[in-house]
Amino acid sequence: MLKDFVSNAALLIASFSIMGVLFKDKPLYPSSPLSSKLYWGICFGILGNVLMSFSIQVSPNIYADLRHLAIVIAGAFGGYIPAIIAAILIAIGRIILFGFNSSAILPASGAFLTGIVCGFISALNIHRTAKAFIMNLCGLVIISIIFMIRIDNSEVLRNVLTMHNLISLAGGLFGYHFFVFVVDSNETQSQLKHSLIRVKETEERFRLLAEYSSDMITMHNDQAEYIYISPAVREVIQFQYPELLGKKLETFIHPDDVERTNNMYERALQKGSAESTYRYRSKFGDYVWIESTLKSVPYQEAGEKKVIIVSRNITKRKLTEQKLQEANELLNRLSYMDGLTGIANRRFFDETLLSEWSNALDHHAPITLVMFDIDYFKKYNDTYGHLKGDWCLQTIAQAVNQLFPEHSRGAFCRYGGEEFALILPSADREKGLQAAQQVKDTVHSLKVPHKSSEIADIITLSIGIATMYPTKSILPDSLIKEADSALYFSKTRGRNTISINEKPERIPT
């Protein structure tokens, strides 16, 4: 009898495996669709009838098997609907297989009652394992009562109940967990299948985006070597896919941009993202401007991080920006340039004097201002005309400007009208006097005719020099006032002279 019960249990478990394969796409849960519950209820009903076909005959009209476990598993996993369906089919099968008689009514009723009880227990808010155990116990109680009613021999009854209950409890426990394994395996396979589908869809979307994107999409390993290049590479940098594969990114970067680009790549590996603009050598050997956004891939393969770079050619935009920058620089220069003479204007003078004054104050250094104008310039205009007067101003300005190029410490400006100013940072009176004498000699060497002058027949200059050590209590205007006073003193002393500060001392020509 033990062998027969074990065979019955083995048949039960094998059937669970077959059912799991047949209905792997229709998992059984209390929340499953009604159709799935119907399928499973019918299958469990058929399983119960199969178990009855291999039942153990205890006496001429008494058979023992594990049919109730089919109802128990149906109720534990699917609720009352599959349990009731399985119970009804088993009850009908009991009558069909063993004949419609009084001895068949009681087992059939017991099967139906087991289905009702299991359906009721399935609604309880307890763990599924506990439900299955309680259902199995209830089923065994019902079957035991039927055996006690129908078996008169106490020894046979004891043997049947002992064997049946032992195999039912052990087989039920094993069968339950085996069915859990079948359900979980099917669920895992289903999740894997859907995951693979999602991965494939994601890959297809990525490939579609990469192939039709106007931006170049590349993937690199932690050595910055190309391992994937999108078709846009032909449009962006004119290379073909095989020409870049396996080569390092820095191979194609302008030498001046390599260090910055490598730092950008390391930042992407460490921080997760980075952005950069750099020059990239195209297939034709010229350099194009590239703007790139880098993202490190969130997974690792073989211990190496991957970096995806989305790049676009911004050469036209960069050229436009450079032209705009050049235009702004030109406008900035023009805003500090005197339109007539081409040298620095009054605005540049004011800002430079303020800056150099502050610098001299910080370093406790002197600052010298040389101011000069053209003697009898109004008479020059009246005699030669304003066009000639403009020429005269331009000639003198350019000649003096060559003495003090942009890289020198001096700043030469047109102060206004025929008056000019020279700022000499860190220069004392002696250096100021040397500069003034140099200016005076340069203009004298031009020998620009001036027949209306009252002191010479050529253009001459009157020059004033002022030197100060800036303090917080003195403003830069004080230096201008001192230099202007010295210039006025030169004019009152006959012009064509150089005067220093307010001293009446006159330096002869």
**Rounded-to-integer distance, Cα 59 and Cα 255, Å:** 98
Helix (H, G, I), strand (E, B) or coil at 450: coil
Closest CA to 506 of 428, 494, 422, 344: 494
Residue 504: per-residue pLDDT: 33
**Residue 75 domain-assigned (yes or no):** yes
Question: Do residue 372 and residue 483 come from a single domain?
Answer: yes
Burial level of 462, CB count in 10 A (0-12/13-18/19+)?
buried
Q: Could you give the number of structural domains in the chain?
A: 3
Catalytic residue among 418, 454, 482, 502: 418
> Could you tell me the CATH number of the domain that includes residue 69?
1.10.1760.20
Closest CA to 352 of 332, 331, 336: 336
Question: Do residue 27 and residue 163 come from a single domain?
Answer: yes
Q: Which residue has the tokens 């579609």?
A: 208
Half-sphere exposure of 436 (CA within 13 A, CB side): 33
**Residue 456 domain-assigned (yes or no):** yes
Residue 63: per-residue pLDDT: 63
Question: Do residue 176 and residue 243 come from a single domain?
Answer: no
Which among 318, 350, 365 is the end of a domain? 318
Q: What are phi and psi of 32, to 5 degrees?
A: -65, 155
Measured over the CA atoms of residue 429, residue 432, residue 438 and residue 442, the dihedral's sign is negative
Question: Do residue 401 and residue 495 come from a single domain?
Answer: yes
**Residue 204 domain-assigned (yes or no):** no
> Could you tell me the CATH number of the domain that includes residue 270?
3.30.450.20
**Residue 430 domain-assigned (yes or no):** yes
**Rounded-to-integer distance, Cα 436 and Cα 221, Å:** 67
Residue 225 bears catalytic tag: no
DSSP state of 337: B
Assigned token pair, 232: 């846009």
Q: β-strand 498-500 against 367-374: which pairing, if any?
A: unpaired
**47 close to 19: Cβ distance less than 8 angstroms:** yes
Question: Do residue 385 and residue 460 come from a single domain?
Answer: yes
Residue 506: per-residue pLDDT: 37
Residue 477: per-residue pLDDT: 93
Residue 383: per-residue pLDDT: 95
**Residue 324 domain-assigned (yes or no):** no
Residue 503: per-residue pLDDT: 40
**Which residues constitute the domain of residue 438?**
336-507
Question: Do residue 488 and residue 452 come from a single domain?
Answer: yes
Instruction: Kindly write down the DSSP assignment for every residue of 338-369, as one continuous string.
Output: -TTTSSB-HHHHHHHHHHHHHHHHHHT--EEE
Question: Do residue 147 and residue 286 come from a single domain?
Answer: no
What single-letter amino acid sits at 155? E
Residue 8: per-residue pLDDT: 64
Closest CA to 224 of 253, 202, 194, 247: 247
**Residue 326 domain-assigned (yes or no):** no
Question: Do residue 275 and residue 407 come from a single domain?
Answer: no
**Residue 381 domain-assigned (yes or no):** yes
pLDDT, averaged in runs of 10, over the chain (509 residues): 62 72 76 86 84 68 72 86 89 79 77 88 88 86 83 78 76 77 78 76 66 78 86 82 86 91 89 89 88 80 77 87 84 85 92 93 94 95 94 95 76 93 93 94 95 94 95 92 94 93 44
**Rounded-to-integer distance, Cα 503 and Cα 486, Å:** 8
Helix (H, G, I), strand (E, B) or coil at 226: strand
Question: Do residue 383 and residue 481 come from a single domain?
Answer: yes
**Rounded-to-integer distance, Cα 244 and Cα 250, Å:** 12
Question: Do residue 342 and residue 314 come from a single domain?
Answer: no
**241 close to 229: Cβ distance less than 8 angstroms:** yes
The strand pairing partners of 369, in sequence order, are 423, 466
> Could you tell me the CATH number of the domain that includes residue 408?
3.30.70.270
Half-sphere exposure of 301 (CA within 13 A, CB side): 7
Question: Do residue 365 and residue 503 come from a single domain?
Answer: yes
**Residue 382 domain-assigned (yes or no):** yes
Question: Do residue 134 and residue 257 come from a single domain?
Answer: no
